[in-house]
Amino acid sequence: MSLTINRHDAAAGPVLRVTGDLDYDHAPDLRRYLDELALDEGQRLVIDLAGLDFCDSSGITALLAARRLAHAVGADLALSAVPAKTLRVLAVVGLDRVFTIHADSTGGG
């Protein structure tokens, strides 16, 4: 399956809805998208993973890159609606304590 990234703007900042497979083949698509994303200090970037079908280590690395990008400009990052399998992987490697994670697609704001 492919990866689709749709953006909408919320009051706190951009929301990226990621749908499909965030894997070795498609993680670079998210990284390129993030490289072109204008993010300002004080904003919150939300990555909505409700439509995520699969995420491998390359996908996790892309999410970490998104977090680094946000923090580099003084912004925050939150993951929302993380699928159970991906949430389990994040918990096993301790990244559930690194990422701000919201249960639903609102991203807390």
pLDDT bracket for residue 107 (50, 70, 90): low
Q: What is the CATH number of domain 10-88?
A: 3.30.750.24
Residue 23 has pLDDT above 80, yes or no: yes
Q: 36-73 pLDDT, tens per residue? A: 999 999 999 999 999 999 999 999 999 999 999 999 99
Enter the DSSP assignment of 101.
E
**Alpha carbon 90 to chain centroid, angstroms:** 12
- For the chain, give the mean pLDDT: 93
Q: How many percent of the chain have pLDDT more than 90?
A: 93
Enter the DSSP assignment of 59.
H
